[in-house]
A = this chain, B = another copy of it.
Amino acid sequence: MNTQEKIIESATVLFLEKGFDRTSVREIASKANINISLMNYYFRSKEILFETIIDLLIGKAAASLKDILDAEIDLNEKISQYTGKYIDMLIRNPLLVSFVLAVLNRNPEKLIKLKVTDNLYTTKKFSQQLNNEYLKGNIKKVDPEQFYLNMLSLISFPFAMKHLIIEKNQFSQEEFDRFITERKEIIYNTLISYLKP
Interfacial residues, chain A to chain B (CB-CB below 8 A): 19-22, 98, 101-102, 104-106, 108, 111-112, 117, 121-122, 143, 145-146, 149-150, 152-154, 156-158, 160-161, 163-165, 167-169, 179, 182-183, 186-187, 189-191, 193-194, 196
Contacts and interface: CB of A to CB of B under 8 A. Distances in A.
Contact of A163 (B104, B157, B182, B196): B104
Contacts of A187: 150
Total identical chains: 2
A121 B101 CA distance: 20
A122 B169 CA distance: 10
Contact of A186 (B105, B111, B146, B193): B146
User: Main SS of chain A's interface residues?
Assistant: helix
Contacts of A122: 168
B163 A152 contact: no
Given A154-B154, A157-B160, 6 more contacts: A98-B105, A145-B179, A150-B154, A150-B186, A190-B191, A193-B193
Contacts of A105: 19, 98, 102, 160, 163
A150 B155 CA distance: 9
A186 B150 CA distance: 9
B164 A111 contact: yes
A158 B148 CA distance: 11
Given A160-B101, A160-B160, A189 B183 contact: no
A5 to B, nearest CB: 27
Most buried by B among A101, A112, A165: A101
Given A153-B153, A160-B160, A193-B193, A169 B145 contact: yes
A108 B168 CA distance: 12
Contacts of A153: 153-154, 156-158
Contact of A182 (B98, B121, B146): B146
A182 B145 CA distance: 12
